[in-house]
Amino acid sequence: MTAPAVPSAPSVPCAPCVTVNGDQVPLDGVAAHTTTLDWLRDRGLTGAKEGCAEGECGACSVLVARPGVETETEWTAVNACLVPVAALDGQEVVTSEGLGTSSDLHPVQQELAVRGGSQCGYCTPGFVCSLAAEFYRAGRVSTGDEVSSGSTADEHHCGVDMHALSGNLCRCTGYRPIRDAAYALGAPADDDTFAARRQAPPPAPRPTRLAVDGAEYVRPATLAETLALLTERPEAQVVAGSTDWGVEVNIRGRRAPLVVAVDRLPELRELRIEDDVIELGAALTLTEIERRLDGRVPLLAELFPQFASRLIRNSATIGGNIGTASPIGDAPPALLALDAEVVLASPRGERVLPLADYFTGYRETVRAADELIRSVRIPLPLAPLVAFHKIAKRRFDDISSVAVGFALEVADGTVTRARIGLGGVAATPIRAVATEDALVGRPWTEESVRRAAAVLATEGTPMDDHRASASYRSAMLGQSLLRLFWSRQARGHCVQTPKKQEVSA
């Protein structure tokens, strides 16, 4: 397959501009809060659609060339409705129009067409881009099996992770033909230019400043420059993946006189693994952390598939999820259970504090206006008995009614250490300290767990809202601990404390 218009790594781009389907397009006169979706559609690229304007439906999905884990570049699917186009200054974007043409369909487009994966077509370009990102994922293993037109593909997975489509919704086609199309994909052809593009590095982040009609979008080059700007302009809105701020802009019409982007700061994008700590850069996306850790932190490995959708995880950062201080953010309960610390950087230096001390009230924290979350530290060794329970109306891609992170150590049948993080039951994410005390020093038996579960049901200050009642939330807290006990007993898991090297390797 010969892809249209996208060469190898582009030449030095104009400033400011975005490379779209191989062509450099200037950002002259673009307002700071213009979304990538609106900007693309204004230029006639109407494949991407607005369905929800908050990252729930995936109709706006496009591809962006991002730093890869297994290859220099990865084609990453993101929600164009949430990403400010200014955030893509100097970057490469591919839309559904750029993947193929009516006379030369991309393999993803071809399979969706022949297997009936498109009906009204509104959502189809978003499915195409999300599935194309999975098609080019370096870790995907193709069996080479082909599925004839009109047949099903239950046994022909070809290494496809269907969670790649978890953020894409279709109201009329039904998901079976879309799944069949995904399972029918083989490996990219030898002459596929999008596949070849992965071997060259992505465009390097560069400083950006857009100022139109009194509003500015600024991407500083370094952490020091960012902190100096925040000191000068404490009213600035700091953004990373824009998965939260983008909703505010679209749904609530929020505007800020100054938006400061920190998602590409190199000082915030390091992942360090030592004998006694794992340090996660605050600007790393959840997808990057998931793939780079590759299961090293089992509690986070349980969290990631339940955190929104792959489209959101491709943009959302670990620092952003903490920084918004939402009581229903999914990462804080797991990180609280892991005894995580946050590293705050300012012009005065750095300070490190337990995550449990970071939140002070509803969407309020101890972070000063001139501070940034630089990283999150997880101490080692890790507790061997862990779980992340998320109670929500949908199994995936939903907001928590209650979220619980468990990290326990059991030695000789007795609980020797317990950390439990809770979300959705108070104005902030909290530690279930009373329940921890009720567990430590007691035998790991159903009787002791039931007593501790009764305590857990009283933790926090749950409230009635449209997601769940206070009584339901309390009941789910208690059931969560019992579920942990029963599930581990049923699996026959050993919960003895392992040797240090077993958890820090």
152 shares a domain with 109: yes
Question: Does 29 map to a domain?
Answer: yes
Is the pLDDT confidence value at 357 over 90?
yes
339 shares a domain with 324: yes
CATH of the domain at 315: 3.30.465.10
194 shares a domain with 160: yes
Question: Does 502 map to a domain?
Answer: no
Report whether 268 contacts 227 (CB < 8 A). no
Question: Does 504 map to a domain?
Answer: no
Q: Check residue 139 and give its pLDDT.
A: 81
Q: Which DSSP letter does residue 330 get?
A: S
pLDDT grade for 145, boundaries at 50, 70 and 90: very low
Give φ, ψ of 101 to 5 degrees.
-120, 170
pLDDT, tens only, 247-292: 999 999 999 999 999 999 999 999 999 999 999 999 999 999 999 9
Q: Check residue 498 and give its pLDDT.
A: 44
Domains held by the chain: number = 4
Q: Check residue 129 and give its pLDDT.
A: 98
123 shares a domain with 100: yes
Range of the domain at 280: 267-379
Percent of the chain with pLDDT over 90: 85
Report whether 433 contacts 421 (CB < 8 A). no
Of 29-43, 160-174, 487-501, the poorest mean pLDDT is in: 487-501
192 shares a domain with 287: no
11 vs 215, which has greater pLDDT? 215
Question: Does 466 map to a domain?
Answer: yes
pLDDT grade for 450, boundaries at 50, 70 and 90: very high
**Length of the chain counted residue by residue:** 505
395 shares a domain with 334: no
Report whether 441 contacts 412 (CB < 8 A). no
- Reduce the secondary structure of 102-158 to three states and give it as a string: CCECCHHHHHHHHCCCCCCCCCHHHHHHHHHHHHCCCCCCCCCCCCCCCCCCCCCCC
* Dist. CA 393–CA 417, nearest whole Å: 32
Indicate the pTM of the whole model. Answer: 0.91
Question: Does 194 map to a domain?
Answer: yes
Question: Does 501 map to a domain?
Answer: no
Helix (H) or strand (E) holding 376: strand 372-379
Q: Check residue 146 and give its pLDDT.
A: 45
pLDDT grade for 7, boundaries at 50, 70 and 90: very low
Residue 490, CA atoms < 13 Å, CB-side half-sphere: 6
171 shares a domain with 32: yes
Q: Check residue 497 and give its pLDDT.
A: 45
226 shares a domain with 111: no
115 shares a domain with 176: yes
Number of Cβ within 10 Å of residue 381's Cβ equals 16
pLDDT, tens only, 42-74: 999 999 999 999 999 999 999 999 999 899 999
Is the pLDDT confidence value at 1 over 50?
no
CATH of the domain at 220: 3.30.43.10
Q: Check residue 13 and give its pLDDT.
A: 54
Residues 6+ positions from 348 with CB-CB distance below 8 Å: none
* Dist. CA 321–CA 479, nearest whole Å: 26
pLDDT, tens only, 126-144: 999 999 999 999 988 654 4
410 shares a domain with 468: yes
pLDDT grade for 4, boundaries at 50, 70 and 90: low
Count of helix runs (H) and strand runs (E) in the chain: 17, 20
Is the pLDDT confidence value at 475 over 60?
yes
Is the pLDDT confidence value at 155 over 80?
no
Percent of the chain with pLDDT over 70: 91
